Amino acid sequence: MNTAAAPAGRHDLVITLVTLAVLLAWDASGWDLSVARWFGGAAGFAWRDAWWARTLLHDGGRALAWLLLATLALSALAPVPTVMRPSRAQRWRWTGMVLLCVLAVPLVKQFSTTSCPWDLAEFGGTAHYVSHWRWGLVDGGGGHCFPSGHAVAAFAFFGMYFLWRDHDTQRARLWLAGVLVAGALFGWAQLARGAHYPSHTLWSAWLCWALCAGAAAWRPMRLPAWQRSSSSN
């Protein structure tokens, strides 16, 4: 067993399990619908087509995410300046993990029968509220709304935190903070528009984190022992 990687692996596992417990508690609370009611009513959601929510944070956020992913892919082609930087192979692997997260959550959505808040009858639609845990139960709406695909435009980049944390702690923390802030903004915009419940965004975040934490525990994704030794000096 690689003892140098063990503390980070245990830390990742603890975060994954604790956040899973918090998410399950949120789902059990039934607060999703209550929060949606803060933003919508019988006439629908006032901010559904607001410029700041739809154009800036939804369309703009998606475009920015694809631009950033393309930039990361191009940077993976650049020469590695020192042995302290991530290798080209590591950069490619973690950029691939970002792309995997981008694709994985929309794939889950394809099997979901959960509709969006704006589809509910109490918000001017035709559906009735059904928890996303009641698999296979049709709610009368369009479905395919769980989890939040848009939030992945931010949370997929958890992979950059994992890439940098063994090389540059400050940069890794900046990536993590940026991802969390952007994900919260994207999630809030979609909540205000009536496109998603809070749990939809939170589950997208957890799925991306869990995928990245699992990848970090996989030996080919980890920093070689000689580089870990150098970076700790």
**Of 43-52, 80-89, 124-133, where does mean pLDDT reach its minimum?**
80-89
DSSP lists the bridge partners of residue 45 as 40
Range of the domain at 167: 47-76+88-112+147-222
Tell me the CA distances in angstroms from 130 to 34, 57, 112, 114, 140, one per residue in order. 13, 27, 11, 7, 10
| Within a domain: 95 | yes
Q: Say if pTM beats, i.e. exceeds, 0.85.
A: yes
What is the per-residue pLDDT for 228?
Answer: 47
C-beta atoms surrounding 15 within 10 Å: 14
**Structure tokens belonging to residue 164:** 């940098």
135 falls in which pLDDT band (50, 70, 90)?
confident
Contacts of 73 (CB under 8 A, 6+ apart): 95
User: Domain count of the chain?
Assistant: 1
Whether residue 153 contacts residue 21, with contact meaning beta carbons closer than 8 Å, is answered with no
pLDDT score of 61 more than 90 = yes
Residues 48 and 190: beta-carbon distance below 8 Å: no
* Whether residue 232 has pLDDT greater than 50: no
Q: What residues form DSSP beta bridges with 127?
A: 120
Confirm whether 103 is domain-assigned: yes
Residue-wise pLDDT for 91-104, tens only, equals 999 999 999 999 99
Query: Is the residue at 11 inside a domain?
Result: no
> Rounded distance, CA 203 to CA 205, Å?
5
**Which has more pLDDT, 68 or 229?**
68
Tokens of 65: 């995410």
CA pair distance 67, 61, nearest whole angstrom: 10
Q: Is residue 23 part of a domain?
A: no
> Does 132 fall in a domain?
no
For residue 119 the two structure tokens come to 């589809």
pLDDT surpassing 90 at residue 78: no
Q: ∠11-13-14 over CA atoms, to 5°?
A: 65
Q: Is residue 41 part of a domain?
A: no
End-to-end CA distance of the chain: 22
168: left (phi over 0), alpha (psi -120 to 50) or beta: beta
**Stretch 177-194: mean pLDDT:** 97
5 falls within a domain: no
Is the residue at 180 inside a domain? Answer: yes
Residue type, 193: R
